[in-house]
Amino acid sequence: MSLSQRVEKALKGAEKAVETVPAERPTERPGVRTGSSAAPVGGREALLTEIRTRVQTEAIDAFETLLDVTDPAELRTRIAAIIDRIIAKYAFSLTRPERLGLVEDIVHEVTGFGPLEPLLRDETITEVMVNGPSNIFIERKGKIERVNVAFLNDEHVRRIIDRIIAPLGRRIDESSPRVDARLPDGSRVNAIIEPLSLVGPVITIRKFAATPYTVSDLIGFGTGTAEIFNFLRFCVLARLNIFVSGGTGSGKTTFLNVLSSFIPEDERIVTIEDAAELQLRQEHVVTLEARPPNAEGAGEITIRDLLRNALHMRPDRIIVGECRSGEALDMIQAMMTGQDGSLSTGHANTTQDMLRRLETMILMAGYELPLRAIREQIASAVDVIVHTARLRDGSRKIVNITEVYGSEDDDILTHDIFEFVQTDFKDGKVIGDLLPTGIRPSFMGVFKSAGLDLPKGEFGIPPDDPTKAQKKGKGRWQVGGSSEAEDTRPVLVGHGKAVAAGGMIYLSAVGPIDPATGQVVRGGIKEQTRQCLTNLKTKLEAAGSSLEKVVWANWSLREVSEFDMFNEEWLRCFPGDAPGGQGTLLPLSHRRAGFRVSVGVIAEA
């Protein structure tokens, strides 16, 4: 059959159309009307709905024929012919704008994504949510609205889903009723159908700008200030490992995209995602995308698989779009084994929740790791957590920038460097600023060793306070330069205080402090125990006693497992009958000072 014959057959099909199949919700034309709820069908809208239903049904019958048409003008002409034939047959009365609106509907059905097409083209819409054929919602400026748009039926929605996922080689059916995909412009798509969805096929589309947002855009949106983004640029250039956390729809991926723009052009970047969304501008970028299993359940390639493969690709940076489960372990390992400056995101309500989720995700990897080891690895690998949030006015902002500076007592140590402080809520807008907390991060010296000149004012971060104990930088920051000038302030604890009473000398805890420098001696438990005993001897003799007159001792250890090494040095000091005593764990103040041991005694005067 020739092309003209097929078209003629399709046009004749209009005359054999079945009775009207009512649409669940009408569509206003030429524009799309939005509001908190859709208006009831009636009057003129009911007529348009009836015509649209007839036209769409018959256009579907001629779908394959219309696909052969490559000239947009000819396509519109043929679709207009179908519409005119139906209008004439049923003596419908339409205005010119209404007729053009019907033509647009069918053009979208043939060449695009049907009723979704005008929503996807609207740059003010950031999210499209289809809850079955007749309930469609959008997000605009952070607010959700219902739109007066509808599909014909469930099958119509399924057909659009298939059109989205077919170019990606993915599938959706009863055996695999959910799928993640992306549109040609990079927008993220999730679809789920029966039997998992009880309201019909559901589509959720997170739209992305055709042109990736820049730092200037986010500053204009109020996400952060120029000074904050300059600080984050320094963090990326200094190769700090950064996690972006936040709730659903808080702008994590957009923010990660902007952060990645700070990576220098001469570095090799490997991105790994479930569905590719990142839009990096650098030239040397390798984009990897996970693959779901095929119809036989084989061939799946997970993010974990891609992460392991990426380590063999000589990456300078690894960017994982989102950590959801066991891949968190591989990401942490990569951060610890040479891929400094790596970036990723995760869902969490706070920065502390992000750390807890990382612990849980690492446990999901299937390895029986002790929680302490997991926390130590997280504390070593992750340097900065940037937390984003969608506030009640719909705006998306950075609300916390937090440093992870170490671990202690089986806990991860953090402090906020910047925190969003809300000052007012006026005219439906959240008023506030992301302000320095007054805490200086321990990695400030890394900027200098990376050759970065700190700007005047140092991002509003206060200078070092000599009266406060300085936090130690991470060990990997000491390679090629220290994180800050060496701390020479004297240790304030562990000096011991002797009190004479009832013919006895009571000497409180003495730590492993070098009296010449006032600093904790370098070395392990044995070196520190020797220094403790030396200091103990000096203190007792100054108080009119000696080691030989010690009758009771209390030793505190950082690690119970180090008792044997401590006891070996202890017995060398007391070769005969050692005094009685008891052991305890070091208090927090001694741990923070770097002690592994401290000793207190009771001796005869």
- Give residue-wise pLDDT tens across range 13-69: 433 433 333 333 333 333 333 333 333 445 667 777 777 677 666 666 655 556 566
Query: Cα(484)–Cα(489) distance, rounded to whole angstroms?
Result: 13
Q: Are 220 and 142 contained in the same domain?
A: no
Between these two residues, 526 and 96, which has the higher pLDDT value? 526
Q: Are 200 and 225 contained in the same domain?
A: no
Q: Are 401 and 542 contained in the same domain?
A: no
pLDDT computed for residue 152 by the predictor: 82
Reading the block at residue 591, the tokens are: 């741990």
Alpha-carbon torsion angle 496, 501, 504, 507, nearest 10? -10
Q: Are 494 and 595 in contact (CB under 8 A)?
A: yes
**CATH number of the domain to which 186 belongs:** 3.30.450.90
Query: Cα(575)–Cα(533) distance, rounded to whole angstroms?
Result: 14
Q: Give how many domains the chain has, as a whole number.
A: 3
Between these two residues, 68 and 547, which has the higher pLDDT value? 547
Reading the block at residue 47, the tokens are: 């007529």
pLDDT computed for residue 488 by the predictor: 58
Q: What is the band of 338 on the pLDDT scale with cuts at 50, 70, 90?
A: confident
SS3 content of the chain, % helix, strand, coil (to 5): 35, 25, 40
Residue closest to 56 by CA, chosen among 151, 141, 163, 149: 151
Q: Are 202 and 226 contained in the same domain?
A: no
Reading the block at residue 131, the tokens are: 């809850």
Query: Cα(556)–Cα(598) distance, rounded to whole angstroms?
Result: 5
Between these two residues, 604 and 78, which has the higher pLDDT value? 604
Q: What is the band of 489 on the pLDDT scale with cuts at 50, 70, 90?
A: low
Mean pLDDT over all residues of the chain? 83
Helix (H, G, I), strand (E, B) or coil at 347: strand
Residue 400 belongs to a domain: yes
Q: Are 394 and 248 contained in the same domain?
A: yes
Give 445-495 as a DSSP string: HHHHHTTPPPPTTGGGPPPP-TTSPPPPPPGGGGTTS-SSSPP-PPP-S-B
Is pLDDT of 348 > 90? yes
Stretch 230-243: mean pLDDT: 95
Q: Are 444 and 548 contained in the same domain?
A: no
Residue 480 belongs to a domain: no
Give me the amino acid identity at 1: M
Residue 24 belongs to a domain: yes
Query: Cα(105)–Cα(128) distance, rounded to whole angstroms?
Result: 18
Q: Are 437 and 561 contained in the same domain?
A: no
Residue 49 belongs to a domain: yes
**CATH number of the domain to which 558 belongs:** 3.30.1330.40
Query: Cα(335)–Cα(377) distance, rounded to whole angstroms?
Result: 10
Stretch 272-293: mean pLDDT: 87
Q: Are 165 and 280 contained in the same domain?
A: no
Residue 584 belongs to a domain: yes
Is pLDDT of 4 > 60? no
- Considering just the CA atoms, what is the radius of gyration of the chain in Å? 34
- Over pLDDT 90: what percentage of the chain? 39
Q: Are 302 and 417 contained in the same domain?
A: yes
- Give residue-wise pLDDT tens across range 418-438: 999 999 988 889 999 999 999
Query: The whole model's pTM is what?
Result: 0.67
Give residues with Cβ within 8 angstroms of 564, minimum separation 6: none
Is pLDDT of 398 > 90? yes
Q: What is the band of 5 on the pLDDT scale with cuts at 50, 70, 90?
A: very low
Stretch 188-217: mean pLDDT: 89
Between these two residues, 366 and 541, which has the higher pLDDT value? 541
Beta carbons within 10 angstroms of residue 129's beta carbon? 17
Helix (H, G, I), strand (E, B) or coil at 215: helix
Secondary structure E strands in 348-442: 384-390, 396-408, 411-426, 429-436
User: Last residue of some domain: 206, 232, 258?
Assistant: 206
Helix (H) or strand (E) holding 66: helix 63-67
Query: Cα(199)–Cα(193) distance, rounded to whole angstroms?
Result: 9
Reading the block at residue 477, the tokens are: 């920051």
Q: Are 133 and 268 contained in the same domain?
A: no
pLDDT computed for residue 365 by the predictor: 87
User: Last residue of some domain: 206, 233, 262?
Assistant: 206
Residue 471 belongs to a domain: no
Q: Are 79 and 224 contained in the same domain?
A: no
Q: In this structure, is the dihedral angle defined by the CA atoms of residues 12, 17, 23 and 28, taken in order, positive or negative?
A: positive
User: Last residue of some domain: 460, 478, 513?
Assistant: 460
Query: Cα(536)–Cα(396) distance, rounded to whole angstroms?
Result: 58
Q: Are 510 and 390 contained in the same domain?
A: no
- Over pLDDT 70: what percentage of the chain? 84
Between these two residues, 445 and 469, which has the higher pLDDT value? 445
Residue 493 belongs to a domain: no
**CATH number of the domain to which 392 belongs:** 3.40.50.300
- Give residue-wise pLDDT tens across range 127-146: 999 999 999 999 988 889 99
Residue 188 belongs to a domain: yes
Residue closest to 90 by CA, chosen among 120, 43, 50, 125: 50
Stretch 515-538: mean pLDDT: 90
Q: Are 590 and 551 in contact (CB under 8 A)?
A: no
Q: Are 182 and 275 in contact (CB under 8 A)?
A: yes
Preceding peptide of 195 cis, ω within 30°: yes
Between these two residues, 341 and 522, which has the higher pLDDT value? 341
Strand partners, 390: 396
Query: Cα(506)–Cα(520) distance, rounded to whole angstroms?
Result: 23
Is pLDDT of 10 > 60? no
Host domain of residue 439: 216-460
